[in-house]
């Protein structure tokens, strides 16, 4: 199973993001994902709480774990005064960094860059909403992946795509820590997500993997508690499709029965790959002599 590394970067200044992206893009590395963190949907409650929640994250990057990517990350975190070139200036500074290594099945990575991800981010059509937002199931907190008044307020007018705080497709970064002996329960949830409750809203767990830990934490008989076990990057055609799922009875019946009891801790970070695409496209237009809006 190919290894990949998942990185969250916080820069000293948000204005440095374009320079950071250009540095990555001019390297030999072709990231699987570059995405703009937008907002926590679920916050971790036990694992890496301060580490994950304290910074303002500016970039999510997922790269295959090889020599080129290792050299790139080293040059980002420990810049050498001699490493920058006239065309690739290191004019940014990383203030916070969080990362982990994961094994992602090759069936998911094989065509991810050339076909899979592009077709998800730029679909010819998207599924209709189910109408669950007309009479949504609400709870005080979104921590169990339900629609809360606070999350509903952030999403805004659910009758219009134009009013959303994030336009177009979103990519939800999930970290999962299972209760001992409860992984099978989560697998039942995952199967239902892929076959019905997520799929009919365009939901797709496009990258998933087991998180790699030192040998001292491994146990072949059961999942040890107190560590992150899996990660997933879940795609939704829009925030409205995501909210439609959370607000529905069919999703919550499966979520509450199989997902919630299985997890000792979890977190979900909403990100936008399209925001990164637009930022880079605007820069390319400017460099080509076209006026930037």
Domains of the chain, CATH where assigned: 3-38+47-103+276-287 (3.30.70.1710), 129-273 (3.30.70.100)
Instruction: Give me the sign of the Cα torsion angle 120, 126, 130, 135.
Output: positive
Considering only 125-129, 161-165, 196-200, which range has the smallest mean pLDDT? 161-165
Q: Report, as an integer, the average pLDDT of 98-126.
A: 97
CB atoms within 10 A of CB 81: 6
- How far is C-alpha 56 from the chain's CA centre? 15
- Residues 238 and 226: their CA atoms lie apart, in Å, by 33
Look at residue 292 and tell me whether its pLDDT is greater than 60.
Answer: no
Confidence of residue 293 (pLDDT cuts 50, 70, 90): very low
Helix (H) or strand (E) holding 50: helix 49-53
Look at residue 288 and tell me whether its pLDDT is greater than 50.
Answer: no
Q: Name the token pair of 60.
A: 């999510």
Q: Report, as an integer, the average pLDDT of 4-24.
A: 97
Instruction: Give me the sign of the Cα torsion angle 205, 4, 11, 289.
Output: negative
Look at residue 220 and tell me whether its pLDDT is greater than 60.
Answer: no
Look at residue 98 and tell me whether its pLDDT is greater than 90.
Answer: yes
Tell me the pLDDT of the chain averaged across its residues. 91
Tokens 């930037």, located at residue: 292
Structure confidence by residue, pLDDT tens digits, 238-261: 999 999 999 999 999 999 999 999
Q: How wide is the angle at C-alpha 167 spanned by C-alphas 252 and 172, nearest 5°?
A: 45
Give the contacts of 291 (CB within 8 A, at least 6 positions apart).
Answer: 285
101: closest CA among 16, 189, 18, 210? 210
Helix (H) or strand (E) holding 172: strand 170-178
Q: How wide is the angle at C-alpha 154 spanned by C-alphas 148 and 157, nearest 5°?
A: 100
Look at residue 117 and tell me whether its pLDDT is greater than 90.
Answer: yes
**For residue 88, what pLDDT is reported?**
52
**For residue 138, what pLDDT is reported?**
95
Q: Report, as an integer, the average pLDDT of 120-129.
A: 97
Look at residue 215 and tell me whether its pLDDT is greater than 70.
Answer: no
Q: How far is CA 271 from CA 37, 76, 228, in A?
A: 4, 21, 20
Q: Report, as an integer, the average pLDDT of 210-217.
A: 78
* Residue 30 CA neighbour count, 13 Å, CB half: 4
């Amino acid at each position: 199973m190919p290894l990949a590394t998942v990185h969250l970067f916080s820069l000293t200044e948000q204005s440095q993001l374009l320079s950071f992206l250009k540095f990555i893009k001019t390297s030999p590395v072709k990231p699987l994902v570059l995405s703009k963190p937008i907002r926590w949907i679920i916050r971790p409650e036990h694992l890496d709480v301060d580490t994950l929640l304290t910074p303002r994250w500016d970039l999510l990057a997922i790269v295959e774990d090889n020599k080129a990517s290792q050299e790139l990350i080293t040059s980002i975190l420990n810049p050498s005064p001699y490493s920058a070139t006239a065309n690739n200036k290191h004019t940014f500074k990383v203030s916070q960094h969080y990362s982990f290594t994961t094994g992602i099945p090759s069936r998911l990575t094989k065509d991810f860059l050339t076909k899979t991800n592009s077709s998800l981010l730029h679909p010819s059509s998207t599924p209709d909403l189910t109408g669950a937002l007309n009479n949504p199931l609400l709870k005080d907190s979104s921590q169990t992946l339900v629609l809360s008044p606070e999350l509903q307020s952030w999403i805004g007018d659910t009758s219009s795509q134009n009013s959303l705080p994030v336009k177009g497709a979103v990519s939800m970064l999930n970290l999962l820590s299972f209760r001992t002996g409860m992984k099978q329960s989560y697998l039942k949830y995952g199967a239902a997500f892929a076959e019905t409750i997520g799929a009919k809203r365009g939901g797709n767990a496009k990258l998933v993997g087991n998180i790699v830990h030192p040998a001292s934490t491994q146990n072949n008989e059961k999942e040890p508690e107190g560590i992150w076990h899996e990660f997933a990057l879940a795609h939704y055609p829009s925030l409205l499709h995501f909210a439609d799922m959370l607000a529905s009875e069919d999703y919550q019946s499966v979520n509450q029965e199989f997902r919630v009891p299985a997890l000792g801790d979890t977190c979900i970070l909403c990100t936008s790959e399209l925001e990164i695409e637009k930022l880079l496209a605007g820069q390319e237009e400017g460099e080509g002599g076209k006026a930037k809006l």
